[in-house]
Amino acid sequence: MTEKSFDKVIVALCEGQHDVSFLSRILLVNGFNLDNKKLSQLPFPFDNRFTAELSEVRIPDKKLGFQPMGPNLPSMSFTKDGTLVFIHNLNGDGKHRERENLVSMYRELSGEDDFSTLIPYRFLYFFDADDIGIENRLNEVRREIGCPVETEFSNGSLFEFDGVEWGGYIFHEHETQYGTLEDLLLKHFDNKVASLKSNIITFLGANVLSPNSTKLFVYEQGAETYKGRSKYYEKKSILGIFGQLQFSGVSNAVMINQTDFLKAADIIGCQQCLLINSLFS
């Protein structure tokens, strides 16, 4: 068996890049170090696996503008006291197959033969409660993992099944069982500058566009047309205006990673953040 340089590997499966940015803020405040190593410098067997994953991208089959980073390559990596953390952006809550493939990829790296290393894994799932609620989201995770429906699994908790640890957190409004990560963030943002959030909401309410203007506007086959469903989400827009007041032109994900509307004191004093951090301990 190959000697390993870590005691535990935690894999966080996130719904989107906002989650990745928020988790990174929590981990950094709680003593984790951002790991900026090259793929070839990562511990075995992740160095070989991630390098192979990237080498499997068939460049000639791609169109201009493609992004080579797929869900099987982590967006960020952190370390602390022998714990190695990989955070993945799955780009949506409906990516069941991609999450299952990702978990399988990691588990296949663990073994007890002369050419492998036995890896103590913990897989964490992060979703928004949205309008379906925390418990329904947790049930979705149970079904995806394949554990018994009666498995005790509350928000922000861990359990063992099939030889590894599992857990997760469902983002929600502070007062209810529903909502999104944006609700959690805006609660902290709203405390920094008096009336700023209400001014932003007033501005958005006074400048409502037609439903079509919130859809993709494309020019194809000689005509202009609107495609798909509305892309307007008020909470994301509120968050975005907070960001534009600080860093013109940045995305919400970058803003979450860099804003002083969210400080260490907020994270340390936030019950939701404490629960999330406990998943990485």
Residues 154 and 204 in one domain: no
Residues 244 and 127 in one domain: no
pLDDT at residue 105 in the model: 94
The model's confidence at residue 5, banded by pLDDT at 50, 70 and 90, is confident
pLDDT at residue 37 in the model: 86
Residues 138 and 172 in one domain: yes
Residues 137 and 208 in one domain: no
Angle between helix axes 234-246 and 196-206 (nearest 10 degrees) is: 120
Residues 142 and 215 in one domain: no
Residues 217 and 239 in one domain: yes
Give per-residue pLDDT as tens, 113-171: 655 688 999 999 999 999 999 999 999 999 999 999 899 999 999 999 999 999 999 99
Token pair 């700023």 in the structure block, residue = 196
Residue 34: φ, ψ to 5°: -65, 130
Angle between helix axes 17-29 and 181-189 (nearest 10 degrees) is: 50
pLDDT at residue 69 in the model: 63
- pLDDT of 1 > 60? The answer is no
Residues 103 and 140 in one domain: yes
Give per-residue pLDDT as tens, 23-43: 999 999 999 999 988 888 999
The answer to the question of residue 2 being in a domain is: no
The answer to the question of residue 24 being in a domain is: yes
Number of domains in the chain: 2
Q: Would the CA dihedral through 43, 116, 126, 241 be positive or negative? A: positive
Residues 81 and 212 in one domain: no
| Average pLDDT taken over every residue of the chain | 91
Q: Are 217 and 228 in contact (CB under 8 A)?
A: no
Higher pLDDT, 1 or 164: 164
Residue 137: φ, ψ to 5°: -65, -45
Give per-residue pLDDT as tens, 165-195: 999 999 999 899 999 999 999 999 988 888 9
- pLDDT of 252 > 80? The answer is yes
Residue 119: which CATH number?
A: 3.40.50.10620
Q: Are 94 and 79 in contact (CB under 8 A)?
A: no
Residues 237 and 120 in one domain: no
Residues 143 and 72 in one domain: yes
The residue type at 33:
N
Residues 106 and 220 in one domain: no
pLDDT at residue 6 in the model: 85
Residue 96 structure tokens? 């069941």
Q: Are 102 and 110 in contact (CB under 8 A)?
A: no
Residues 6+ apart with CB under 8 A from 162: 145, 146, 147
The answer to the question of residue 188 being in a domain is: no
The answer to the question of residue 264 being in a domain is: no
Question: What percent of the chain is modeled with pLDDT above 70?
Answer: 92
pLDDT at residue 62 in the model: 57
Residue 111: φ, ψ to 5°: -165, 170
Residues 145 and 46 in one domain: yes
**Range(s) of the domain holding residue 99:** 8-178+270-278
